[in-house]
Amino acid sequence: MTDVQTRPVGPPATAPRGPLLRRLGRWWLRRWRWLTSMRTAVVLLFLLALAAVPGSLFPQRSLTPSAVAGFFRENPDLAPVLDTLGMFDVFSSPWFSAIYLLLFVSLIGCLVPRCIEHLRALRADPPPVPRHLHRLPVHAAEEVSLPAEAAAERVEAHLRSTRFRVTRNRTSAGVEISAERGRVKETGNLVFHLSLLALLVALAGGKLWGYEGSILVTEGDGFCNSFQQYDRYVAGPMVDPDTLTPLCFDLQDFRATYELNGMPASFSADIGVQADPGAPTEQTTIGVNDPFRSDGDRLYVTGHGFTPLFTVTLPDGQVFEELSAPFLPRDSATFASEGVVKLPDLGDGSDDGFALEGFFAPTGVVQGGVLTSVDARPLNPQVAVIGYRGYLGLDSGIPQSVFSLDQTQIDVGALNRIGEANLSVGESAEFEDGTVVRFDGFREFAALQVSYDPGQVGVLISAITMLLGLLATLLVRRERVFARITGSRIPHSGDEPSTTVALAGLARGGSGDVNERLHGLSASLLGEGQPRQRRNG
């Protein structure tokens, strides 16, 4: 019978932590090496460019919120899906930011070791002469009637004259010379990638600390650089609204020139600028590509339109003069425009308001009772208006556009239609309730944009250095030349010295230049003395 010995059962032994930590460390090291490789950086750069494509295909909320709303109306089924994927906020979406940050990490992790290695290589001597020169792609051998030292001096002088870095060493076999040039090729490559990294940093800095605001300003009106006054603005997360440049602008006159076919050709605006409230006004003129600049802020003209002027006389005798609102162009060829003039307080103690929904034609033609515009130039300005009286819904707590009426109030009967008319300048129309509307003419408005981008100069400098680095990378060729000089016979009295010069070379991007280089060395060596024998590879 065999005795079976048993051990008391205890808790299972835990695996030592050391091997697990080492495995995690090796896993992280492999992933880090993959992330910081130049191949990964190129792939991420391609993905970043690919990720930016939807930003040009779909309207963006930060730029044109009205276009996004129009896309939702036209595509009610597709728009919510695209919105979930972030297609209307591409450049602030998590997936775009993730690619951007990964590209940053990849470039930094790739370039820092390469820069350190390149700095060490710049201070280091050229590599030593290989043992077997005949195994290199381009090689040759010459026997010249010169002492070994004289031949070495000639080889070194020739290489230095062609801007090679040269080292010469004496060995037991003779004299060895190593020469190298074209390190600026690698320098250009690093400058290109460092400039790319600086470009990305400058772009990110511009988005973090930059802002832009847009506003429609009618001739005779003005505004100040404040987020509260802009119709639309976009500001980076690091922008403090209290630190904006205290500029104030007055639009004094706006001019638009047109082509022979009626298309707008150029815009220019005379503006008055106050650097601080109460400061004297500076007069200047700006255009589409000629902005006003001050302390990093730039004021652009981005478009224009028309602001019709009305005089409204209510049935009780109240008169409201110069009622106006910008009408937005819906046709860039004829500048046919639509808009709304709202008068929420009639001064009679009621909640009723008055509104004009209108269509403005710079050069109007009535066809079949319908007003259309045939030219962008204001040759025959006319307006078609529809009058409303009732509750406008401005204090309902629901935001509404200043360029349209709240259709809900019309549908429920809170805002009632009281008449319509087509008017030329100076003409009047009386609506059903006795309200009289007169079309007094128009003023032009300019679409102005104030932009501040602290990364603009950095982007320009980075782009220039990128181009210089790329040119250095493409135009400079890296070459290495090696020479081993040995005396083949000790000369006796009256004998000519005999020396064997073995040459070899390497070049990135082809060996044609190295072949010419070795031929030049051979010609330099044969300047004195006659060759005994020549062997080429």
- How far is it, in rounded angstroms, from Cα 147 to Cα 490? 10
Domain boundaries, position 353 = 311-441
Q: Is residue 78 part of a domain?
A: yes
Residues 433, 483 within the same domain? no
Q: Is residue 519 part of a domain?
A: yes
Nearest to 484 by CA among 194, 171, 191: 171
Residues 522, 407 within the same domain? no
Q: Is residue 366 part of a domain?
A: yes
Q: Is residue 96 part of a domain?
A: yes
Residues 490, 532 within the same domain? yes
Nearest to 32 by CA among 117, 112, 94, 120: 112
How many helices (H) and strands (E) are present in the chain, helices listed first? 11, 24
Strand order in the sheet with 248-258: 222-224, 248-258, 264-274, 282-287
Q: Examine the fold and report which residue of 85, 120, 155 is the final residue of a domain before the chain moves on.
A: 120
Q: Is residue 237 part of a domain?
A: no
For the entire predicted model, the pTM comes to 0.70
Residues 415, 504 within the same domain? no
Residues 494, 384 within the same domain? no
Q: Tens place of pLDDT for every residue, the chain, 537 residues?
A: 444 444 555 555 544 555 777 777 777 667 778 888 878 888 888 998 899 898 888 888 776 776 787 788 888 889 899 989 889 888 888 899 899 888 888 888 888 888 998 888 888 889 899 988 888 888 888 888 888 888 888 888 888 988 899 999 988 878 999 999 888 888 999 999 899 889 989 988 998 899 989 999 999 999 999 988 998 888 888 899 888 888 999 999 999 888 777 677 788 999 999 988 778 889 999 988 889 998 889 999 988 899 999 999 998 888 999 899 999 988 878 889 999 999 887 876 677 889 999 999 999 998 888 899 998 889 999 999 999 999 888 877 677 778 888 888 888 888 999 999 999 999 999 999 899 999 999 999 999 999 999 998 999 999 999 999 999 988 888 888 999 988 765 555 456 667 888 888 888 755 556 777 788 777 777 664 444 444 455
Nearest to 73 by CA among 487, 404, 444, 442: 404
Residues 6+ apart with CB under 8 A from 397: none
Is residue 9 helix, strand or coil?
Answer: coil
Residues 402, 318 within the same domain? yes
Residues 332, 422 within the same domain? yes
Q: What is the DSSP letter of 242?
A: G
- How far is it, in rounded angstroms, from Cα 499 to Cα 234? 77
Residues 139, 66 within the same domain? no
**Total structural domains within the chain:** 3
Q: Examine the fold and report which residue of 96, 120, 144 is the final residue of a domain before the chain moves on.
A: 120
Q: Is residue 270 part of a domain?
A: no
Residues 323, 392 within the same domain? yes
Nearest to 166 by CA among 178, 183, 153: 178
Q: Please report, for the domain that includes residue 504, its CATH number.
A: 3.30.160.110
Residues 112, 169 within the same domain? no
Residues 114, 151 within the same domain? no
Residues 6+ apart with CB under 8 A from 456: 202, 206
Q: Examine the fold and report which residue of 75, 96, 120 is the final residue of a domain before the chain moves on.
A: 120
Q: Is residue 263 part of a domain?
A: no
Residues 390, 483 within the same domain? no
Q: Is residue 9 part of a domain?
A: no
